Amino acid sequence: MSDFIEKAVPEKESFAEREILIENQYGIHARPAAMLVKTASMFNAEITITKGSINVSGKSIMGLMTLEACYGSMIRVTASGPDAMQALDEIQKLFEQKFNEE
């Protein structure tokens, strides 16, 4: 009889970062914040959104609302985890589509 030991192999971690200009008319208000959280929550990545000196989780509606990220603001989105690049691609699409507001 042999002992079988299974070890979990950690997925490859990756890190990605992008700067994004907010071009939708009202910036990150409640609806875009909810869309961001919904999108970010689909991924196994830690997502941080930064405006100025404020860093918040991309999976927190309240955090995103504290950014006061209005039209014309520049934010930095970072992601770390096995699907970091995919997460950033999807988040960037939301901004490019102006959260379907226009």
Active site positions, annotated? 29
Q: Which residues of 29-67 are buried (b: 16+ CB within 10 A; e: fewer)?
A: beebbebbbebbeebebbbbbbbeeeebebbbeebbeeb
Say how far apart CA 80 and CA 84 lie, in whole Å.
Answer: 5
